[in-house]
Structure 1
Amino acid sequence: MATVSMGLSFTSAAGAAPEGVRGDPDGLKLVKTKTSLLGTHYWYQQTFKGLPVVNGYYAKHVAKGGAVEVADGRDAVPANLDVSAATTPAAATQTANATVTARARRAAGPNKSLVRQPAATSGAAQLAVIGGPNARLVWNVTSRSTEGVSRSLVDAKTGSVVESKVISDNIDGRGSVFDPNPVVSEQNEKLTDQNDKNQDALFLAQKNVILRNLDGSGKLNGSFVNIKEAKGGIAQSKTNTFVYQRANEKFEQVMVYYHINQTQEYIQKLGFTDVNNESQDFSVDTYAGDNSFYDPSTDMITTGEGGVDDAEDAEVIWHEYGHAIQDDVVPGFGESEQAGAIGEGFGDYWAVTNSIPVSKGFELPCVMDWDATSYTSDEPHCLRRTDGTKTTDDIDGEVHDDGEIWSRALWDIHQSLGRTKANKLILEATFFYDPDTSFAGAAQDTVQAARLLYGKAAAQTVTDAFKARKILP
C-alpha cells in the first residue's frame, strides 16, 4: 500500500466526483466524499467482480488549489479467482460465532469462570475477497460477544476461519453523564455508584440543560443523535421535557443526547461541517458488561451498564464518539495496530478536551473519573491519563496502552497551541490518514496540517511534540 502525490488539476460539478475520477483504476466504488478545511476527499472501496476486497481502498485528496494526493491501498487479486462459494452463509456464520465465543471466554479469565459468558451472535454473512499472495473468496461475518464486535473472515471454499478479530473500539469501565461527571463537577473523589442508587450528592451534581436540535418526535432524536434502542424503553415526552434522576434508566439517554449534541456543535464551530455530521445511532444501557464500544459495521455506539453505567460519564461518551468521528472521516480506519492505538489515544484526548469548558481545571488529564471509581482504588480515579510519560519505546501491541503515547502527543500540542488551534488541526489531519496508518504517518499528516493552517512555527511545535514521544525522529 503506497501513497503517491501528483500535481494534477481538474474541476467538477457541485456535489459530484471530479471528472478526473474517470481516469482512476477500474474496480473502484465511490463510498464517501468528505469536505475538510483544505480540500475534498474521495474514498473508494476496491472491488473484484462486484465484491468488496477486504481492506482494499483508494483515496483521492483534492486540495482547494487543485493539487491531488492519492493514497492507493489496493491489493492484487488474480483475474481468474473463482467467486462462487462452496460453503453456505449459515455454515460460515456458525463457524465464526464458535471462534468468537471461544476467544471471548478465554479472554474472560479465571476470575470470571463462575459466570457463564453468553455465546456470540451475529448478523448476515457477506461475500468478500481477500487480495494479496493468498487471495481467496471469504464470507465476512460480524459477531457480537462480550469482547464487543468481531469480524471473522471464513474461507468460502473450505469453511475454515482465515481471520477473526475485534473491530469495535472498547473501553473497560464506564461512567456518568452529568457535566461532565459527578467526580469532576463536585470535585469529590469519594463518590461511589452504590448500585445506581439516587444520592443527595449526585442529585446536587445534576445540571439543568437545554436539549438543542431535537426533531420534535417526542423522543431523544435530532440532527446529531439518535437513541435507537435503550434498556427500559426509549424516553418519550410530548412536551420534549426529559428530566430524570440518575437511578432512572432514561437518565443516561438524556445525557448521551446532550453531550453528543454539544460536541458536534463544537466541531461545527471549528469550521467543520462534514465530520460525522449525522444523527449518530446509540444503544444505551443494553450491554450488561462494564464495557462500551463503537461498532463500525453498523455505525452504532453501545454503552454498558456494568459498574457505573457508562453513559453516566460524558468522557466515556466522548471517547466512543471519537471512534465514530475517525470511522466517518476515514472509512475502515484502524486496520493496523498503530492505527487502532491512534483511535484509542484520540478518543481519550477528545474526552479530555471536551471536558475543559466545564471542569474548572479539575484533574483535566484524568480520563473517565466517575466511571473509574468502579474499578480503581487510587485517587484520583482515572481509566487512563493524557499526560503520561510513554514513548514508542514502550509499545506493547495493546491499543489502549499504546494509545497513551498518541494522546500525550496530542495533549502537548493542545497545551502549546491552545484548544481551538489544536483541535482544528488534529481534525483536519485526520482527513489525510490512511486506514492502516502508522504513528509516524499520522504524525506527518498532523505536522503538514499545522503548516498549512498556521505556518512554520506551529508545524515545528507539533513536530517537537511528536519527537518527545519518539514518534518522529
Structure 2
Amino acid sequence: MKTFRLSLVAATLCFAFSHAQAASQSVDSLSVFSNVKAGSPQQVLQQYVGQSAAGLTLVRSNESLLGKHYYYQQMLHGLPIDQADVAVSIGHNGQLLKVHNQARQVSAEDAAKAFKQLHSLSKIGNEAALDRAWANMKVQHALLKAPQADMVWVVGKDGVQLAYKVQIAAEMPTGGFVQYLSAQDGSLLKSYSTSLPRHAKNGERSLEARATLLGGTLDRAAATQAVAKRQAQQLSSGALATPSGINGTGFVFDPDPRTTLNNDSITDTSAASVFEPAYFNKPLRDLTVTNGVYSLSGPFVNIKNIESPATAPSTTTNGAWTAKRGNNAFDDTNVYFHLDQNQRYIQSLGFTGTKSIINRPLDVDTDGLNGDDNSHYSYGGATDYLAFGHGCVNDSEDADVILHEYGHAIHRNINSNWSGGDTGAMGEGFGDYWAGSYSYSTANGKTYHPEWAFSWDGHNSCWGGRMMNRTDAKYNSSKTYGAHSSVTENGVTFVSDELWSTPLFQSLTALVAAGKSRDNVDKIILEAHFGLGSGVTMRQMATSIVNAAKNLFPNDLTYANTFQAKFEAQNILGAVVPPGPSMNETESNNTAATANTVSTTNTTVNGTMSANSDLDFFKVSLNPGLTLSATLTPNSTSDYDLHLFDSNGTTQLASSVKGTGQVDTVSYKNTGTSPKTLYVRVKYYSGGTGATNGKYTLNLKW
C-alpha cells in the first residue's frame, strides 16, 4: 500500500499568466514566482492550494524585507495535522513571492476514519501520555518548563492517526524531546530532539540512547511542581526589553585567540601569557543597573543561570569586567558581547521593527550542560535559550560556537515550524556559516583557516571541528539529511552539516572577492528563510535563496548567479536549462516498442491518462556523461507514477511513486562511452482519466 501523500502546490501550477514576463518555478512543495499579482492570501490559497485550503487556519504572520508572510495550519475535526502547513508570501509591492505547501490531501474516507478515532475509540488520556513519554525519555535532570501534551493527527500509511504530541524540556544532558504517542495505546510513533548541540560528541540524541542510561528517573509530579515554583520566582527578575543607555566594558576574544594571533599551536593548556595579546577590551552595551550593581542583562541578551552547574552570573559595581579566561566572568562578557553585537548587526541589515529577528532579551547560560564539552540551543513552546558547556576549551570562549548556537535561534524565531525534511543538517550548516561569516569579517579572518568552523573550540585533540570547503560533498535528492550525520556519496564521506555550510560559505567568499559586501550576502540568506514551513529540503532552501537574491538585487544578478553556481556544484540545484519545446503525447504508446520519441532536452510533454489501464512510454537517447531528469506533474486530483527503464524496456532503473497531486521525479546518468536508449513510463495509479480529468505534464531534460 502506498503511504498517505502530500498534495503539492507544484501540481497545480499549470496556468497561463496575463503578463508576458510572469513566471514560476517549482521545487517539490515550494513554488517561487515573478511578476504575478497576488490578490489576497485567501485568493492565493484557493488558486494554488486548491481543495486542501478549506481546512487551513491562519496561525501567525510576520514581515521581512521583501514582504509579508502568512502561515496556515491544516486542521481536521478541530485538531491540527502535524507538519501539515502552508506559507504564502506576498511582496510589499503586491506581487506573489512564493508558496510553500505542505498541506495533506485528506479523502472523505480518511476523514471518516479519523472521526471514528476521535469519537468512538478509547484513548489513554493526557496524564497517561505524559507518564509514558516521561518514562521513554528517562528524565534525570530538572525541568525547564512544565511538560505539555496535545492531541494532533500524525500522517501514516493508512491516512491519519490520532496521537498525543508530548513536549518535555529538561536540563542537559536529558535535554528536550517532542514525542508522538498513539492516542489508543500510548506506543511511540516518532520523536525528535528540541535540544540542538553543536556536535554529536556523545552520539546522536535519541530516546533509544537515553533508554540505555543507568540511574533512576525523576518523579514527574515533583519535577513539575519544582519548575513552576522556580518560574514564579523568576517572573520578577526579567531582563529589560528596552535599551538602558548604560554601557560597561569587558575583555573578550574576537573572534578567538588562534585567529587573532594567527597561531595554530595555541591549545587550552597554553600558558596564560600566550593569550594576553588576544584580548580586546570591548564595550558592553545597555546593561542593567540595580542599586549600583551592573549585570549583563540587556535588550538582546540576558545572562542567567539555567542549567547545572549552578553558577551565578557575574556582576560589577562599576561596569568594568576585568576577568580573563579561566574565570566564569570572562565567559559571561565574551558571550554577551558577541550576541549583542550580532543582533545589532542583524538590525543593521534592515531586520528591525515588524521585520525583527529575536529583537528581545534571549536567555543564555554561559556555564551549563552539567559541565559537558558541548553547547546547545533549546526550545519548548514559547521559551528558548542558549547554554554553553565547559570542558576542554570552554565553548563560550569561541565566537564560532556562540554565533553557531545563535544561528539555531535565528532559524526557530523566523520559522517556528522548522523541522522535518533536511532541516537538521541545514540548521547545523547555517549555524556554521553564520559563525564563519562573522569570523571572515575580522582582521585575520580571510587568512587564518577561513574554511574552519570552530577555529578555537575544535580542530584539536578534543574534537575535529567542521569544514566549510567540502566541495566534494554531493547532494542526493533521494536522501534526507539529519544533523551531524556521516554521509558517503560516490565514495566521498562527509558530515551532513558540511553539505549545507559549504555552498553558503563559498558563495560568501566568491562574492566578497568580487567586491560585494558581506552584509548583502547575509541579508539574502536571512530573507530567504521567511515564508517557509515544515519539511524544508536543501533544494527548496537553495531555490528560496537564489530567488531572494534576484528580488533583493534585481539589477545585480551576480548574487543570484553565484549562489546558483555554488548550489549546482554540490548537486543541490540543477543547471538552469533554457525553455524547451512542448509536444502532445500520442497513442498508442503503451509499450516500449511504440514509445513516443523525445529528441530535444527540456521538452514538456502534454499527456493524458485515457483509462486506468493506460501506460504511456517515451523514448530518449542519452549521450555519454549526460544525466536524464524526468519530472511528472499530474493534475491535482490524480496519482500517476513514474518509472525509468533500460534500453530493453523492461529492466527498471528508477521509479517515483508519490501521491495524489504530487510531483514525481527520477534521474539517471549515462556513465558509459556510447549513447544509451532509455524509456520513461507514466502509469495510472488512481484519480481521473480522459481528456478532461486525466491530464498530466512530463518534462524531460538532459
TM-score (norm 2): 0.58
1:460 CA displacement: 2.0
Give the distance between the partners of 1:440 and 1:429, measured in 2 at CA. 13
Give the distance between the partners of 2:525 and 2:134, measured in 1 at CA. 37
Matched residue of 1:465: which SS?
A: helix
Tell whether 2:93 aligns with 1:65.
yes
Closer, same or farther: CA 94–466 of 1 in aligned 2, 3 Å: same
Matching of residues 294-305 of structure 1 within 5 Å: 294-297=377-380, 298-305=383-390
Closer, same or farther: CA 308–189 of 1 in aligned 2, 3 Å: same
Give the distance between the partners of 1:198 and 1:51, measured in 2 at CA. 60
Tell whether 2:281 aligns with 1:253.
no
Give the distance between the partners of 2:132 and 2:268, measured in 1 at CA. 40
Higher strand share: 2
Give the distance between the partners of 1:121 and 1:153, measured in 2 at CA. 19
| Paired residue type of 1:30 | V
- Which residue in 1 is equivalent to 2:304? 228
Tell whether 2:449 aligns with 1:363.
yes
1:36–1:428 Cα contact (<8 Å) kept: yes
- Which residue in 1 is equivalent to 2:562? 461
- Which residue in 2 is equivalent to 1:452? 551
Tell whether 2:360 aligns with 1:278.
yes
1:173–1:310 Cα contact (<8 Å) kept: no
Aligned partner of 1:326 among 402, 411, 416: 411
- Which residue in 2 is equivalent to 1:205? 278
Closer, same or farther: CA 438–98 of 1 in aligned 2, 3 Å: same
- Which residue in 2 is equivalent to 1:127? 150
Aligned partner of 2:176 among 149, 155, 180: 149
1:148 CA displacement: 4.0
- Which residue in 2 is equivalent to 1:293? 376
1:154–1:163 Cα contact (<8 Å) kept: yes
| Paired residue type of 2:189 | V
The number of aligned residues is 443
Aligned partner of 2:258 among 180, 183, 186: 183
Aligned partner of 2:540 among 441, 462, 468: 441
Matching of residues 31-42 of structure 1 within 5 Å: 31=60, 33-42=61-70
2:252–2:280 Cα contact (<8 Å) kept: no
Q: Which moved more, 1:340-349 or 1:122-131?
A: 122-131
Encode CA deviations 1:385-430: one digit per residue, 9 max, x unaligned: 1112333258784523112111110112112222222111111111
Encode CA deviations 1:90-124: one digit per residue, 9 max, x unaligned: 4433432433349xxxxxxxxxxxxxxx5796741
Matched residue of 1:412: which SS?
A: helix
- Which residue in 2 is equivalent to 1:237? 316
Give the distance between the partners of 1:177 and 1:239, measured in 2 at CA. 18
Encode CA deviations 1:142-167: one digit per residue, 9 max, x unaligned: 24453743221122331211112223
Q: CA RMSD in A?
A: 3.1
Closer, same or farther: CA 165–285 of 1 in aligned 2, 3 Å: same
Closer, same or farther: CA 60–405 of 1 in aligned 2, 3 Å: same
| Paired residue type of 2:406 | Y
1:453 CA displacement: 1.9
Matched residue of 1:222: which SS?
A: coil
Give the distance between the partners of 1:349 and 1:182, measured in 2 at CA. 20
1:212 CA displacement: 1.6
Give the distance between the partners of 1:20 and 1:280, measured in 2 at CA. 37
Matched residue of 2:305: which SS?
A: strand
Tell whether 2:458 aligns with 1:372.
yes
Give the distance between the partners of 2:330 and 2:286, measured in 1 at CA. 18
Rg (Cα) greater in structure = 2
TM-score (norm 1): 0.83
Gaps of 5+ in 2: 1-5, 11-30, 47-52, 202-250, 485-494, 513-517, 575-702
2:99–2:531 Cα contact (<8 Å) kept: no
Closer, same or farther: CA 458–356 of 1 in aligned 2, 3 Å: closer
1:19 CA displacement: 8.5
Matched residue of 1:55: which SS?
A: strand
| Paired residue type of 1:357 | S
| Paired residue type of 1:137 | A
Matched residue of 2:400: which SS?
A: helix
Give the distance between the partners of 1:94 and 1:286, measured in 2 at CA. 27
| Paired residue type of 1:409 | P
Give the distance between the partners of 1:205 and 1:178, measured in 2 at CA. 6
Give the distance between the partners of 1:35 and 1:216, measured in 2 at CA. 34
Matched residue of 1:226: which SS?
A: strand
Encode CA deviations 1:286-343: one digit per residue, 9 max, x unaligned: 212222111232321121223222111111010011111111111221322x222111
- Which residue in 1 is equivalent to 2:529? 430
Gaps of 5+ in 1: 12-17, 103-117
Give the distance between the partners of 2:414 and 2:255, measured in 1 at CA. 26
Matched residue of 1:207: which SS?
A: strand
Give the distance between the partners of 1:371 and 1:472, measured in 2 at CA. 33
Q: Which moved more, 1:212-221 or 1:202-211?
A: 212-221
Matching of residues 90-129 of structure 1 within 5 Å: 90-101=127-138, 123-129=146-152
1:372–1:383 Cα contact (<8 Å) kept: yes
Encode CA deviations 1:266-286: one digit per residue, 9 max, x unaligned: 111122222222222212212
Tell whether 2:241 aligns with 1:165.
no
1:209 CA displacement: 0.5
Give the distance between the partners of 2:9 and 2:325, measured in 1 at CA. 50
Matched residue of 1:209: which SS?
A: strand
| Paired residue type of 2:375 | S
| Paired residue type of 2:284 | L
Q: Which moved more, 1:280-289 or 1:344-353?
A: 280-289
1:50 CA displacement: 5.4
Give the distance between the partners of 1:376 and 1:135, measured in 2 at CA. 44
Matched residue of 2:189: which SS?
A: strand
Give the distance between the partners of 1:97 and 1:26, measured in 2 at CA. 33
Closer, same or farther: CA 440–39 of 1 in aligned 2, 3 Å: same
| Paired residue type of 2:395 | D
Matched residue of 2:441: which SS?
A: helix
| Paired residue type of 1:368 | F
Matched residue of 1:191: which SS?
A: coil
1:356 CA displacement: 2.3
**Identity among equivalent pairs (%):** 30
1:100–1:120 Cα contact (<8 Å) kept: no
Closer, same or farther: CA 177–47 of 1 in aligned 2, 3 Å: farther
- Which residue in 2 is equivalent to 1:269? 348
